[in-house]
Amino acid sequence: MAAALRFTKMQGIGNDYVYVNGFEERVDSPGELARKISNRNFGVGSDGLVLILPSASADVRMRMFNADGSEAEMCGNAVRCVGKYVYDHGIQVKDVITVETGAGVKVVRLLFEAGEVCGATVDMGEPELTPSRIPVLTEASPDGGQQRFVAHPVDVNGQLYEITAVSMGNPHAVIFMKGIDDLDLPRMGPDFEHHPLFPKRTNTEFVEVISSTKVRMRVWERGAGETLACGTGACAVAVACVLNGYTGRDVEVELKGGTLKIHWDENSNHVHMTGGAVTVFAGEYYI
């Protein structure tokens, strides 16, 4: 007889995941479950699976699996939802929650509206700009005394793109251009994701600058395809905006699913992301 797995579906500006409480539920093959449960026709439907687990170094641990079953280091929209879940379900009832991720421990400061958690500001840590640590397999020109991959011309399927590479715990390739709404991302996206420059594949952000304080972006996520939002991607875009001189350190990043506010602190070098977190529904999945 099939066993029932309790889950909660949540979304952060349209970036939706299935969340499972690992304090109460057991998942033996999370990659396989992610592929099945994420299917939008035959499963619950999501961008992936998130397990909320005990941690020895933080309040909780988050493991995140893409819709293709691959495990990712970090997801900014998901970590906000983890903070809300942990508070709403009484795992930790406090305003500031620490979450262990594959990209280190993140500090989640919950935001409230009418007594309910409506979102969070997350300290996403320092951006990684050294190519070998992003990783990207090339040498960039010196920038400010350091090696950085900024506005570097890259041939992708016969066309040159200027790519700025940033890691926010996971790799990102940021491209500034006009006409992002006209891009055929299902056709183009895999060429960037699997480009030989990126040994761990890459998330790719296509960005249109609106003003010195606002940009728009579309994202092709590693292992998931085009999604409505990407929190780490928005952070990487904000960093890339500063590196390329397009904006200041406070940037509103407009995505298909909504807007994130990003601040890259000059003193600490930490990137802070603010956005919503919403519970969609809860249910049981039979495995």
Provide the annotated active-site residues. Answer: 75, 230
Given a contact cutoff of 8 angstroms between Cβ atoms, the answer to whether 55 and 62 are in contact is no
Dist CA 149 CA 129 (whole Å): 7
Binding residue ranges = 15, 66, 76-77, 170, 203, 221-222, 231-232
What's the longest Cα–Cα distance across the chain? 63
CA atoms of 161 and 154, how far apart (whole Å)? 5
Q: Which helix (H) or strand (E) holds 129?
A: none
Q: What is the β-pairing status of strands 142-143 and 71-72? A: unpaired
Detail the residues annotated as belonging to a binding site for substrate.
Answer: 15, 66, 76-77, 170, 203, 221-222, 231-232
- 3-state DSSP assignment of residue 239: helix
Task: Return d(Cα 192, Cα 202) in angstroms, integer.
Answer: 7
- The beta strand positions in the chain, using DSSP E, are 4-12, 15-21, 48-53, 60-66, 71-72, 96-101, 104-113, 116-123, 142-143, 146-147, 152-156, 159-167, 171-176, 203-209, 214-221, 225-227, 250-255, 258-264, 271-276, 278-286
